[in-house]
């Protein structure tokens, strides 16, 4: 049951996150620790979730000078994270520092190296939002530009909206990770996401992993919501 592409986003406090984790054991393999949970619970939350049998995706979207990102990446690797994110807009030198530092740190402590994922354009940002920050390219043009830059820096994959998943798969090849937030099952609201798709559509487009938060975490019974999404995927893809 846990061999599925869902990553459940735990964008909440410590106790709620642990309650959700216990409820989701045996349903999903991956949990996402974003800023809200990481800054509330601290780095130890990664180990606590791993002790429950989960793989952990640390989504802090690192974006700083290469030296600082290298240091943060090393610490994330030592925690045992399976994946973590950097902003592609931080540039190739910064991304390369994240890749090299995390691999070196993981080797030093005898852990598998985490996958480094480059965030292209946030799924809450549309073309108008890009214009607001001085980017005149549309999202459909900006995403591949950043993805190509990330590939040259040696990252393991990208985070992008489902709308760009097919292009990312074409650009980056079969082995790349293509992680798509902005995924909403057919029975769910869009919330604050601007560029979304259903789980089956995202997978068909080339996504390797689906980040899903509120449709599961805000459901009356999160385990049942996760099972419903898995069934939705299976029905369409089998």
Q: How many residues does the chain have?
A: 238
**188 backbone φψ class: left, alpha, beta (φ>0; ψ -120 to 50):** beta
Of 29, 32, 61, 96, which residue is the catalytic one?
61
Cα gap 44→116, rounded to integer Å: 20
Residue 61: active-site member: yes
Cα gap 157→155, rounded to integer Å: 6
Which residues on adjacent β-strands are paired with residue 118? 86, 158
DSSP 33: E
- HEC string for 62-109: ECCCHHHHHHHHHHHHHHCCCEEEEEHHHCHHHHHHHHHHHHHHHHHH
Joined tokens for residue 160 = 């992008």
Q: 214 near 184, Cβ under 8 Å? A: no
DSSP 209: E
Element housing 169 (H / E): helix 165-172
Nearest to 125 by CA among 139, 135, 113: 139
Q: Which residues have a catalytic role annotated? A: 61
């Amino acid at each position: 049951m846990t061999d599925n592409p869902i990553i459940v986003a735990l964008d909440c406090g410590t106790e709620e996150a642990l309650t959700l984790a216990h409820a989701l054991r045996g349903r999903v393999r991956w949990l996402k620790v974003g800023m809200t949970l990481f800054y509330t619970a601290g780095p130890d939350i990664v180990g606590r979730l791993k002790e429950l049998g989960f793989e952990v995706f640390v989504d802090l979207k690192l974006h700083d000078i290469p030296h600082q990102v290298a240091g943060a990446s090393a610490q994330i690797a030592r925690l045992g994270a399976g994946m973590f994110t950097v902003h592609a807009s931080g540039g190739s030198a910064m991304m390369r520092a994240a890749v090299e530092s995390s691999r070196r740190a993981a080797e030093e402590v005898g852990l598998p190296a985490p996958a480094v994922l480059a965030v292209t354009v946030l799924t809450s940002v549309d073309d108008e939002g890009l214009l607001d920050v001085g980017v005149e390219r549309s999202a459909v043009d900006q995403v591949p530009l950043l993805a190509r830059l990330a590939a040259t820096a040696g990252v393991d994959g990208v985070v992008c909206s489902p709308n760009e998943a097919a292009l990312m798969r074409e650009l980056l090849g079969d082995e790349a990770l293509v992680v798509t937030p902005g995924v909403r099952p057919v029975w769910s609201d869009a919330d604050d996401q601007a560029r979304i798709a259903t789980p089956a559509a995202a997978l068909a487009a080339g996504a390797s992993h689906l980040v899903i938060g509120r449709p599961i975490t805000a459901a009356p019974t999160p385990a049942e919501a996760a099972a419903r999404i898995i069934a939705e995927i299976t029905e369409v893809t089998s």
